[in-house]
Structure 1
Amino acid sequence: MGYDFSTQAIHAGYDRKGNADASSVPIYASAAFDLEDSGRGQALAAGVEPGFEYSRVANPTVDALERRIAALEGGIGAVAVSSGMAAVSFALMCAGEGGGRIIAPTNLYGASVDALGDFLPQFGIHADFVHDINDLAEVESLIGPDTRAIFAETVANPSTAITDIEPLAALAHRHGIALIVDNTVPTPYLLRPIEFGADIVVHSTTKGITGHGNAIGGIIVDAGRFDWTNGRFAQFTRPEQVIADLDGNRRSFAGAFGEQAFIKRIRIKYLRTFGAVQSPFNAYLSLIGLETLPERVSRQVATATLIAERLTHTPHVVKVNYSGLGDTPQYALAAKYFPRGVGQILSFLVDGDRENVRRILDGTKLFSYVPNIGDARSLIVDPVNITHREVPTDYRIAAGVTDNLIRLSIGLEDAGDLIADLEQAIAGAY
């Protein structure tokens, strides 16, 4: 039977009977696992039998997290990694491997812009940036024979701009390219991109999924619907020694794993080779965070909406960026994709200069000056100096990231207390 999201957030992907009837997922602090006998060991190594052999490839605690998030996102499988940027990098490299191009907007998180614009080109993977990911004509004009994927954030940070996933996915699929989305800001509680056509979903589980600012992690989820054998992706159809069968015959990822070709390549080539492994302890903390995800995010969205509305009437605030407000240009998209709200982050512009911004940041008492989002605590930061400092100036300005922009991540404190703290800090800064 199909269970509600809240039920799956607590129970999905875990078998108590297979874990000594432990009601909470155990932490398997083991580097390796007994192969039992030579035949089973060979089968495990060849990938023809499920199980655990070495925690660099798979671990039971991490496996429970992967299964749970795959269920919550509606995917066929997932691979957890050591950070959100590991998830982004692995997904883009796996799609672009061997000289592919990725289309992406300029308003991505700063490290993603740096990866696409400066670092991945050193590995032969190049980006074509667009100013508006929802401008389908602009996106389509950049699709060429080497294009492998479109990459976007479902809700951009810090502008909260919403990606119109459904028509973007349809465009991508008409050209035989994949749609990869970063769903970190909304979490699967607010949005399940696979339902609207996304092929690969990535998260920084550090943020809302874990929810308490205490464990770094990332995850890649595969919808299992994209045809990786359509001619654009040679890496999925060439035979590889690493997945040779028991007789030593080389197999291709598509031939060996079918609809799981992408997520299996992530695990067997990227996780196993580059080693950005999620620790069992961090996976455990993420699982604990998942159990309260609906309650936490619902509270944070309600408070973020109240704060955004209040800031629109606060002296010295000249603009508020929060797509959940009823008078924003993207309100129709918010209604379509985010009936539960767009998330806990928002940003606002103030008048004055850098000194005024510094006084606001230093003047808050409840907000912590922290470059994270999705925490149970409320956080404040100036993106131009912290989260987006490596983004080229013209990209930053186009995304609205200027010297006078302040970003908030709303936690679980009382809404009235947070509003009072912001108002006294803003008033004291002028």
Structure 2
Amino acid sequence: MSSDTLGFATAQIHAGQDRGAAHGTRVIPIHLASGFAFDDFDQARDRFSGDDVGFSYTRMGNPTASAVERKLATLEGGREALLVGSGQAALTVAMLGLLRAGDHFVSARHIYEGSRGLFRENFAGFGIQVDFVDDIDDPDAWHRLVRPETRVFFAESIANPRNQVLDVPAIAAVAHEAGVPLVVDNTFATPYLHRPLEWGADVVVHSTSKFLSGHGAALGGAVIDAGTFDFSTDPERWQQLDHARHGNRAYLTYIRNTIAGRLGPTIAPFNAFLLQQGIETLSLRVERHSSNASAVACWLEKQPEVASVDYAGLASSPSRAVAERLYPRGNGSVFAFTVHGGERAAAALIERLELFSHMSHLGDVRSLILHPATTSHARLSEVERQQLGVTPGMLRISIGIEDVADLIRDLRRGLDAAATVADCEPMRQPARRHAIARG
């Protein structure tokens, strides 16, 4: 049966699996091998020339990882996928496949701070420049930043940490008008909630360590190529891609062999196996994640200790209209809320929680919480944090799949502790919900 005809829940279990390669098992085996023997002299030559797609060395490909790649490509609606060792590696490989010294790209400002640091500091060292868009909802804002040397647009489908939702069709149209691909980090949404490639994006990246795995036990990353962006229309701009030889596989072939193959961010076969195990229950988990998050966000918005809640599923959210159009199955489970009383109140809330784990991770079956201003965004200036809406009282939460009533009781204890601290502070003017403007 073709994977194209399968429903999502069926595909997450069966897509990409080769019964013959599994040697009669229904579970993808772990191929713990650094290299693979060749049948004969000609096969070795053909594999190194690219004429044989078999395996030679795990840094270049492994049967376990390959099976998971096929599954992810199916779930995202892409042509081909590449697994690497982490989400940061996936983003690096995906972007370096499109960018070289002297190039420029445009990125949303509201993204994971590790990604912004990579762009601003590491890529700058490679001679690659970036401009950040403050208002991701404004296509003209993207258009105004395009230069002759622009090569790619980048954004997150659901932004970290404030849950802004990207209007993928609108921004993809601007990117394509400029003759460049749109790369979307779809980690927060997962292909169960949103498939950016179906809405016009060209490449999707994931930190598979998050929702795709779900168990928080193993790092991984993925790049999925739609195979639809026509790099052959401007061969001078994309000199690194051999479109004449590889056709619509040129980009994925290049990042697999030349970028990932040489830089070496290989995913361990065991980690690929653990990822496969997580993907098999993805739809069930994400559905529960999203319903729990919606209930928690609605409850938080009504609490007097809470100044604002940034969740696209709320009627008060600026992203609500886009979310309703692009996310029929739910709005994810990572969002931010802000408590009155600033950092001291936020700290008191965190210290009082019992079920929420205080850690720099998300997408786990367990609920997690973090204070961005003193952790992920601590290296930024106060002005930069204000631009991103990261205030002293903001908390980022990743809602798990526990019983929602237990999560609300835990947060109630935390809010009670935050209120005690806030009562000791000078009287403040209450903040409006979503009072911090984007950018």
Separation in 2, partners of 1:405, 1:37: 61
Letter of the 1:374 counterpart: G
Letter of the 2:90 counterpart: A
Aligned equivalent of 1:37, options 35, 40, 50: 40
Match of 2:129 in 1: 126
Matches within 5 A, 1:171-186: 171-186=174-189
Q: Is the 8 A contact 1:106 1:395 kept in 2?
A: no
Matches within 5 A, 1:19-168: 19-168=22-171
The alpha-carbon deviation at position 303 of structure 1 amounts to 0.5
Aligned equivalent of 2:320, options 301, 324, 331: 331
Q: Is the 8 A contact 1:314 1:423 kept in 2?
A: no
Match of 2:212 in 1: 209
Separation in 1, partners of 2:259, 2:370: 33
Q: Is the 8 A contact 1:151 1:181 kept in 2?
A: yes
Matches within 5 A, 1:17-416: 17-231=20-234, 234=237, 236-237=238-239, 253-416=242-405
Q: Is the 8 A contact 1:367 1:377 kept in 2?
A: yes
Match of 2:415 in 1: 426
Secondary structure of 1:229's aligned partner: helix
The alpha-carbon deviation at position 327 of structure 1 amounts to 2.8
Secondary structure of 1:18's aligned partner: coil
Separation in 2, partners of 1:393, 1:218: 31
Q: Is the 8 A contact 2:342 2:391 kept in 1?
A: no
Match of 1:244 in 2: none
Separation in 1, partners of 2:411, 2:172: 39
Separation in 1, partners of 2:74, 2:100: 28
Distance 1:392 1:26, change over 3 A: farther
Secondary structure of 2:233's aligned partner: coil
- Whether 1:6 aligns to 2:9 is yes
CA RMSD of aligned residues (A): 1.3
Separation in 2, partners of 1:350, 1:233: 52
The alpha-carbon deviation at position 392 of structure 1 amounts to 4.9
* More deviation, 55-64/340-349: 340-349
Q: Is the 8 A contact 1:107 1:156 kept in 2?
A: yes
Separation in 2, partners of 1:360, 1:98: 46
Q: Structure 1 stretches of 5 or more lacking a match?
A: 239-251
Separation in 1, partners of 2:256, 2:236: 17
Per-residue CA shift, 1:253-295, capped at 9, x if unaligned? 2122110111111100111100000111011111000000000
Q: Is the 8 A contact 2:159 2:165 kept in 1?
A: yes
Q: Figure out how many residues of one structure are paired with residues of the other and give that number.
A: 416
Match of 1:248 in 2: none
Match of 1:246 in 2: none
TM-score by length of 1: 0.94
Give every structure 1 segment of 4 or more consecutive aligned residues whose post-TM-superposition deviation is greater than 4 Å: none
Separation in 2, partners of 1:233, 1:182: 27
The alpha-carbon deviation at position 17 of structure 1 amounts to 1.9
Separation in 2, partners of 1:176, 1:415: 46
Q: Structure 2 stretches of 5 or more lacking a match?
A: 421-439
Q: Is the 8 A contact 2:334 2:397 kept in 1?
A: yes
Quote the sequence identity (%): 38
Secondary structure of 1:219's aligned partner: strand
Letter of the 1:28 counterpart: H
TM-score by length of 2: 0.93
The alpha-carbon deviation at position 421 of structure 1 amounts to 0.3
